[in-house]
A and B are shown apart, each in its own frame.
Chain A
Amino acid sequence: DAKTTQPPSMDCAEGRAANLPCNHSTISGNEYVYWYRQIHSQGPQYIIHGLKNNETNEMASLIITEDRKSSTLILPHATLRDTAVYYCIVRAASGGYQKVTFGTGTKLQVIP
């Protein structure tokens, strides 16, 4: 799996959009981008994933650049409950046994 780089921390005002960047410059053509978050000491929670196109679900939007070397997770209206560590990982689309590894993520603090 390709390596990812994320800022260690970010702040966002409550009610505003939170934009969390991720750099994955060594991503290959068959690798998906996945986002998870970990609230306090709970187990991580899946948020969204994508390959090339932008994706949206009830939790967030994922914007992937045309060259696929970076992506942004967007929480459209951040609430205090969105305070968490957000992990961006990339994963191959098929084949072989998968070692799914996480980095250190971005700690998002939503401020009232």
Chain B
Amino acid sequence: NAGVTQTPKFQVLKTGQSMTLQCAQDMNHEYMSWYRQDPGMGLRLIHYSVGAGITDQGEVPNGYNVSRSTTEDFPLRLLSAAPSQTSVYFCASSYLYLGRVHEQYFGPGTRLTVT
């Protein structure tokens, strides 16, 4: 098992550019989520999904879009990058048991800088 993979590892964008952060998992997990972590801060939930075709907003969804067309993939789109989106982005997955999110497996992160 590769677990949770994220690409790219590093990215530099100019203000106003768009890009997609990729996340994939090979554990057949229903639940997937995206977090951002700013320097010295904890993780903040951006968006999450409980299965293909089902997504919902987390704590800080503005400026980000997601979709979930397959169980394996959960891409995060930045439509018009802003310097405030400079952060480390983590993707995570988990299986659901009776609707409960079990322990989450995290990817290695994508370090994004917006200039």
Report A's interface with B, CB cutoff 8 A: 32, 34, 36, 41-46, 49, 87, 91-105
Contacts and interface: CB of A to CB of B under 8 A. Distances in A.
Interface residues of B, number: 29
Interface string B53-64: 010101100000
A98 B56 CA distance: 10
A105 B37 CA distance: 13
B107 A103 contact: no
18 contacts: A32-B100, A42-B108, A43-B92, A43-B109, A45-B106, A46-B103, A46-B105, A93-B100, A95-B98, A95-B100, A97-B48, A97-B99, A98-B50, A98-B101, A100-B104, A101-B43, A102-B42, A102-B44
* SS of B interface (majority): strand
Contacts of B42: 87, 102-105
Contacts, number: 73
A89 B1 CA distance: 27
Contacts of B104: 36, 44, 46, 100
A10 B110 CA distance: 28
Contacts of A41: 88, 109
